[in-house]
Amino acid sequence: MAERILDRYRRSAAAKPLPLSHVIRMKLRSASGSAAETGFAEIAWEPNRYRERVSSAGFTTERGIQGGKAYATDEDGYTRVVSEPVLAELQARSYFWRRGWLFQDRERARLSLAPAEADFVSVRLALVAGNPLLLSFSRRDGALVAVRSPRFDLDFTGGRTFREAGGVRPPVLAEIVWSGLPTEEIGDAEVGGACGRFPATPAQVPFERTTAGGIAFPARLNGVDLRLALDSLADGPLAVSPDAAGKLGLSFARDVYGRSIGSGARIEIGAFSCAGIHVEALRAPPGDVEGILGGTLFREAVVELDPDARRLTIFDPARWVIPSGFTRIIVDDDGDRPVTTVHRGSERARLVVGTAARSDLLLAPDAASRLGVPATGIAHGLRWGPLALPDLSGEPARKSDPAWGEDGAFGFALLLRFHSHLDMSHRWIYIRPAGK
């Protein structure tokens, strides 16, 4: 039956697999309906390479697969190798856009029938590499109406138009405006693009706790004194309050995701500086701070949090010396988000390292069930790397996607029980209990 559904689509749409090298270009606009929030996307592939670019409000972001690894380039042009969940998502995207599911052997993906509704029927494809895909087709004419995969949701309104949702950014509306053979090869993606300038001795600033359960520290942005919160969930540009944005002397434009983005800012934290960064002007103040910083700092530096001294220190990764007496635990990069793993027995959960929260642990209900701990209440028996964690207070995660590989986050209530050095460049965090 699943084969018959695909055969009907092949006949009704006259669809075939696309060539080994191909380019698809799209116009984008915000799903909110604003005519000013527009962009452009390009998807390209060739043997052993895949690339997605999105351009809007004067900047371009990029994600792709090269040499069997996933990479990402953020709004500031910083490129790095990223995590296995990102790779699995991109492999599923590549498989769909190349129409690998229309090859006779479906590139060895396992095909099965999925639950149907009154208006559509569905098939499921378990890929050899990448997240599974659920494809839904109209009962009326056999047209493709929806694609479902972790962080990859498409709802088609026509053969060339669709709505995309499911990612970490707001939904967009897309129209395919051109599809054809490439005019040039996909260039090599090279890791780099850092803007950080480090003093001879590491930069230090004091930090304090915020009312939201995070931490905040003093900084200067384009010469304006601000109080910024550090939050690992902040994977986009440095975000500031409307009042602070008005003092920076930047020109802001709305991107296709509805964000108001300005470019060319300079941030200073102590004697550390980073010039040419993008800034997002928020629609409302972010609590009792004037801005939120995350990936913009973690991608550049080794960040030390010393809860005993209430001090944040910024190190040059090229000159930083691994401290003695600390336990080393793996950290991954989910696209400028540092992520680590906790486990209980043989079960694991991937958590973003450090966000504002009243509790130690923010867990998705699915992840809590998998670990055998309550999503709300006290979690017993968790381990972080080789360390046995004490009993942790928990609450449901505000942002999570267990099917993709994001199960929640550590709150600063837990992270500040430790003296830590977070080195996302080399994928490690070094910790020891505070007070030692």
CATH number at residue 397: 2.40.70
pLDDT at 35: 80
Looking at the fold, whether 50 and 130 belong to one and the same domain comes out as: yes
Cα atoms in the 13 Å half-sphere on the side-chain side of 287: 19
How far is Cα of residue 132 from the mean position of the Cα atoms in its chain? Answer: 19
Q: Does the structure show a pLDDT above 80 at 374?
A: yes
231-235: average pLDDT: 95
Q: What is the pLDDT of residue 34?
A: 81
Q: Answer yes or no: do 282 and 369 share one domain.
A: no
The DSSP call for residue 316 is: -
In a domain, 212, yes or no: yes
Do 160 and 55 share a domain, yes or no? yes
pLDDT band at 398; cut points 50, 70, 90: confident
Residue 139 pLDDT: 96
CA separation for the pair 57, 169 (Å, rounded): 15
Residue 192, φ and ψ in degrees, nearest 5: 145, -170
Task: Express each pLDDT in 136-183 by its tens digit.
Answer: 999 999 999 999 999 999 999 999 999 999 888 999 999 999 999 999
Lookup: tokens for 164: 């995309």
The amino acid occupying position 142 is: G
Question: For 192-204, how does the pLDDT look when each residue is reduced to its tens digit (9 = 90+)?
Answer: 999 999 999 999 9
Nearest to 50, CA basis, from 78, 71, 81: 71
Same-domain check for residues 73 and 164: yes
Q: Which amino acid is at 336?
A: D
DSSP string, 407-422: -EEEEHHHHTTEEEEE
- Could you give the 3-state DSSP secondary structure of residue 245? helix
Shared-domain flag, residues 68 and 175? yes
Query: Which contacts qualify for 112-117: CB closer than 8 Å, 24 or more apart?
Result: 112/2, 113/1, 113/2, 113/5
**SS3 state of residue 366:** helix
pLDDT at res. 221: 98
Clarify whether residues 368 and 254 are in a common domain: no
User: Do 11 and 144 belong to one domain?
Assistant: yes
Residue where a domain stops, chosen among 276, 291, 315: 315
- Position 303 scores a pLDDT of 98
Residues 103 and 240 in one domain: no
Distance from C-alpha of 375 to C-alpha of 385, rounded to nearest angstrom: 21
**21 and 47 share one domain:** yes
Report pLDDT for 32.
Answer: 87
Residue 346 is predicted with a pLDDT of: 95
pLDDT of 201? 96
Asked if 155 and 50 sit in the same domain, the reply is yes
3-state secondary structure of 111: strand
Which of 145, 180, 215 terminates a domain? The answer is 180
Cα distance between residue 168 and residue 89, in whole Å: 12
Q: In what order do the strands lie in the sheet with 311-315?
A: 203-206, 311-315, 302-306, 418-423, 428-433, 327-330
What's the length of the chain?
A: 436
Residue 436 pLDDT exceeds 80: no
In a domain, 186, yes or no: no
Task: Locate 414 and state its tokens.
Answer: 């837990």
Are residues 29 and 171 located together in one domain of the fold? yes
Total of domains in the chain = 3
CATH number of 203's domain: 2.40.70.10
pLDDT digits (tens, 9 = 90+) for 21-55: 999 999 999 998 788 899 999 999 999 999 999 99
C-alpha angle 133-136-142 in degrees, rounded to nearest 5: 135
pLDDT digits (tens, 9 = 90+) for 312-357: 999 999 999 999 999 999 999 999 999 999 999 999 999 999 999 9
- pLDDT for the residue numbered 293: 98
Q: For the residues of 168-186, what is the DSSP string, one character each?
A: SS--EEEEEEEEE--SSPP
Question: Which stretch of 165-169, 255-259, 374-378 has the lowest confidence by average pLDDT?
Answer: 165-169
Is 209 contained in some domain?
A: yes
Range of the domain at 419: 327-433
In CATH, what number is assigned to the domain containing residue 88? 2.50.20
Q: pLDDT (tens digit, 9 = 90+) per residue, 420-434? A: 999 999 999 999 999
Give CA–CA dist 213/354, Å, rounded. 10
Lowest mean pLDDT among 100-104, 167-171, 292-296, 346-350: 167-171
Q: Is 405 within the bounds of a domain?
A: yes
Q: Is there a single domain that holds both residue 301 and residue 364?
A: no
Write down which residue in 315, 343, 372 finishes a domain.
Answer: 315
**Inside any domain, residue 264:** yes
- C-alpha span between 352 and 355 (Å, rounded): 8
pLDDT of amino acid 379:
96
